[in-house]
Amino acid sequence: MRAGGVNSASRCDVYRTKKRNISMQRYITAIIVGVFVVAVTACSPIAPPTVRPPLATLDSNGDGRVSRDEFLAFMNREGFARLDIDKSGTITWDEWRTFDTTAEARRDFEALDTNQDERIEPAEWTYNLGRSGVALRLFTNLDLDRVEALSEPELDQSPVAPMLSIRF
């Protein structure tokens, strides 16, 4: 025992208890942080949304370029579903403007909206896409080097490239 009435053994016990408490606090903090990281990771999307279909999606024959036929097939097959952003079953003028930012956007919309109700319905899309010349005009606007095929840089640089920037 020392002077003052406190022995060295009890000081060691107090020190060990404080050290244990600090270790336990760090352990609990690590667990809380770990749970938070797991929760945030589980709630976040696994991959960021695709900003536009990759060349491989459009290039069905794998030659590294998108022909007019491949583009038209893609537009017929998937165009409507990708443009119907709110999944209402129709394409509105606002949805169309996110797709076609060219000066001809309104004319193209009206060419597809044959019943003039300000909505493009699936039947109008299917029937009018090729007939109206809209798909061909969009392809031509994308084909900057005028070789009748689209390359990756053309998909990125074209003035109508926003039509492929719909998130899906």
pLDDT digits (tens, 9 = 90+) for 49-96: 444 555 777 888 989 898 999 988 888 888 888 889 899 999 999 999
Q: Give just the sign of the alpha carbon dihedral 47, 52, 56, 60.
A: positive
Q: In CATH terms, is domain 55-164 a member of 1.10.238.10?
A: yes
Give residue 78's pLDDT: 82
- Residue 27, pLDDT score: 54
Q: Report residue 15 as tokens.
A: 């020190």
For 16-41, how does the pLDDT look when each residue is reduced to its tens digit (9 = 90+)?
666 666 666 665 665 665 555 555 55
Look at residue 156 in the predicted model and tell me its pLDDT.
73
Residue 97 has pLDDT above 80, yes or no: yes
Least confident stretch, 12-16, 41-45, 115-119, 135-139: 41-45
d(CA 127, CA 56): 27
Residues 6+ apart with CB under 8 A from 155: 52, 55, 58, 66, 142, 161, 164
- The tens digit of pLDDT for each residue in 128-158 reads 888 888 888 888 888 888 999 988 888 777 6
Evaluate if residue 168 carries a pLDDT over 50: no
For residue 82, what pLDDT is reported?
A: 81
